Amino acid sequence: MKPRFRAFAAPVLGALLVLALPHAAQAHAVVTESSLQTQPVKPGHATTVLLQFNAGVELSLSRVFLVSKGDVYQPIEARMGKKPGEVLVPLPALAEGEYAIKYKIFAADGHLTESVIRFSVQGASKSR
């Protein structure tokens, strides 16, 4: 192989190799489903919110908080669900109002994802 060809071929092959790597190598744990979508939190009732992530998570390295009015952060001890990527977030009985679940989740591959899921706690509709 000629030296000029080697000098040109090495960077090109390196670039092709990087482009050919699977996208999973850059994965983050992203919420794909939440029980909040189908089961709203009712006032005055403790409940558990299910978060389904698209990847396995390292819960021991992760943090979950309940955020209430005035940016008050309450740590929540989340636990693993039955399925891979399933995280259960126990919530105390809440009054009506606006809340959020803030999480910093480490994916099993070591990537950190930080996000917030906002939700409302409302009583039954009073329209008749």
* Tens digit of each residue's pLDDT (9 = 90 or more) over 6-18: 555 555 545 444 4
- In degrees and rounded to multiples of 5, residue 31 shows phi and psi of -70, 125
The separation between CA 84 and the C-alpha centre of its own chain, rounded to angstroms, equals 13
Q: What is the pLDDT of residues 42-82, one digit of tens each?
A: 999 999 999 999 999 999 999 999 999 999 999 999 999 99
Q: What percent of the chain has pLDDT over 70?
A: 75
Count of alpha carbons within 13 angstroms of residue 29, beta-carbon side: 26
Domains of the chain: 25-121 (2.60.40.1220)
pLDDT at 123: 83
Count Cα atoms within 13 angstroms, Cβ side, for 84.
6
To the question of pTM greater than 0.85 for the whole model, the response is no
